[in-house]
Amino acid sequence: DIQMTQSPSSLSASVGDRVTITCRASQGISNSLAWFQQKPGKAPKSLIYAASSLQSGVPSKFSGSGSGTDFTLTISSLQPEDFATYYCQQYNSYPFTFGPGTKVDVK
Amino acid sequence: EVQLLESGGGLVQPGGSLRLSCAASGFSFSGYAMSWVRQAPGKGLEWVSTLSGSGASTYYADSVKGRFTISRDNSENTLYLQMNSLRAEDTAVYYCAKDKKGYNPGGFDYWGQGTLVTVSS
């Protein structure tokens, strides 16, 4: 199975900050990488697929990059609605696997 | 507008069974693979199972293989998860998720609101 790791596990940031989250796969997954946002008590929301493609309706402040084993999610200017937990997921091969999540909270 | 609505969750005793449903609307259901993902209380996301759009190909996590069965009724636009021999560690919110593609994975684009399954005596 492909193991996914994320760093940091949590971070504190202020409104307006640029935030970067890293995701690493235990083996190469090409660009088969997705990012999701989840707020407490809510379903996950899809942000990015194919490592860098924005899902329909997702604001351009979110961006993704990477290929192979190393990926990043960047929020260009953090807004109050962006405080949440972010997960990466590989869908290159079964079983699909998620990273453990990165919680972004208020500094 | 794409909508996914799960139902069927509840309290069940260890060793019991439950069938979850996910009613889909707003897209051509048979054209897309569908998946179940779960989240235990206070934990992260765990992929459970995926079914291709045609229903011909199924995939399961090792943790549920042999106990859970994913299926779909394309005439009713509904995805199912039959869960047998339930264990305490199956306690979780179960989400259905739509894939961007019908067969080869393309990433999830839409999620349902989830249904809670509690396995306890």
Residues B9 and A22: their CA atoms lie apart, in Å, by 34
A38 alpha carbon, distance to own chain's centre: 10
| Residue B6 clears pLDDT 90, i.e. is over it | yes
CB-CB under 8 Å, A97 with B105? no
User: Distance between CA B72 and CA B86 in Å, rounded?
Assistant: 21
Nearest CA in chain A to B62: A95
- The whole-number pLDDT of residue B103 equals 83
Q: Is A97 in the B-facing interface, judged by CB distances under 8 Å? A: yes
pLDDT digits (tens, 9 = 90+) for A50-66: 999 999 999 999 999 99
- DSSP class of residue B98 equals E
CA B19 to chain A, closest CA, distance in angstroms equals 20
Mean pLDDT of B80-85: 98
Residue (of B114, B117, B118, B116) closest to B5 by Cα position: B114
Contact A49 B112 (CB under 8 A): no
Q: Rounded to an integer, what distance in angstroms lies between the CA atom of residue A6 and that of residue A1? A: 16
Is a pLDDT exceeding 90 seen at residue B102? no
Is the backbone peptide bond immediately before A40 cis, with ω within 30 degrees of 0? no
Provide the pLDDT for residue A5: 98
| Res B101 pLDDT > 90 | no
For chain A, the three-class secondary structure string (H helix, E strand, C coil) is: CCCEEEECCEEEECCCCCEEEEEEECCCCCCCEEEEEECCCCCCEEEEECCCEECCCCCCCEEEEEECCEEEEEECCCCHHHCEEEEEEECCCCCCEECCCEEEEEC
Q: Which residue of A has its CA nearest to B113?
A: A43
What is the structure's pLDDT at B105?
87
How much is the pLDDT for B118? 98
Q: What is the pLDDT of residue A68?
A: 98
Test A87 with B45 for CB contact under 8 angstroms.
yes
Over range B38-67, report the average pLDDT: 96
Q: Which of residues 54-83 of A touch B (CB under 8 A)?
A: 55-56
Contact B88, B14 (CB under 8 A): yes
Q: For position A24, what pLDDT does the model report?
A: 98
The per-residue pLDDT for B72 is 96
**A95 and B111: CB-CB below 8 Å?**
no
pLDDT of residue B91: 98
Residues 6+ apart with CB under 8 A from B75: none
Rounded distance between C-alpha atoms, residue A69 and residue A2, angstroms: 10
Quick check: A45 pLDDT over 90?
Answer: yes
pLDDT surpassing 90 at residue A15? yes
